[in-house]
Amino acid sequence: MCRYKMVIPGDEGKGNTQIEFVEFDDNFDVVTRREFTTRFIVFHDWALTENYYVVPKNPAYLRWGNILQFTLGLKVGVDVFAMEEETNGEFVLIPRHDEAEDVHEVKSDAFFNCFHFGPVFERKDKRTNLSSMVASSIPTPLEAKWDSTGKTNNSRRSSGARQVWRRMEVCLHRLG
């Protein structure tokens, strides 16, 4: 199970995201509990490997002026944040079983927003393969048009946001 919450005001008044993973055995007794707090990020998908929880660190910032309006029902949830497209995306690998092992934050060389994961797995040579749907820019809710079948029609996005599947490889033995 993955639970996350927004921590306000957070570091430097910018908000934080607290992520908690809990695993249960067949009797629903807790066998693993890991928690991680980072700068404010937005994500709705995560992956699980034999040894890690993998979370996309999609950089975002809070729109403080909209939070009260959201609380009063005058704004929708996506109005309280915006993607920070000048900041590079990252992946966070949180160890599942070894509480002494550090959390690994793997930086990329560009902004991305990871929407969904495909196959994510560890290889014997200590490499982790990540397949994910990423976008180089994010349309606003008004730009994300839907066709009659309920599917996103990328050709109608005025911002030119393009979603593509990317395969990345993380070399764990190099992370230290």
Contact 36, 16 (CB under 8 A): no
Q: In angstroms, rounded to a whole number, what is the distance separating the alpha carbons of residues 18 and 14?
A: 13
pTM as predicted = 0.74
Q: Tell me what pLDDT residue 163 has.
A: 52
Number of folded domains that form the chain: 1
* Residue 155: predicted pLDDT: 41
Identify the pLDDT of residue 31.
92
What pLDDT, on a 0 to 100 scale, did the predictor assign at position 117? Answer: 78
pLDDT at residue 171, as a whole number: 60
Q: How far apart, in Å, are the Cα atoms of 15 and each of 10, 75, 144?
A: 4, 19, 26
The tens place of each residue's pLDDT in the chain, 176 residues long, gives 999 888 888 888 888 999 999 999 999 999 999 999 999 988 888 888 888 898 988 888 888 889 889 889 998 888 888 888 888 888 898 999 888 889 988 888 888 777 777 777 787 776 666 656 565 554 444 333 333 344 444 443 334 455 555 566 666 555 54
For tokens 């996103």, what's the residue?
A: 152
Q: What angle do CA 41, 33, 12 make, to 5 degrees?
A: 30
Q: Which long-range contacts (CB under 8 A, 24 or more apart) does 10-14 make?
A: 10/39, 10/40, 11/39, 14/39, 14/40, 14/61, 14/62
Which residue segment(s) compose the domain that 76 sits in?
A: 2-175
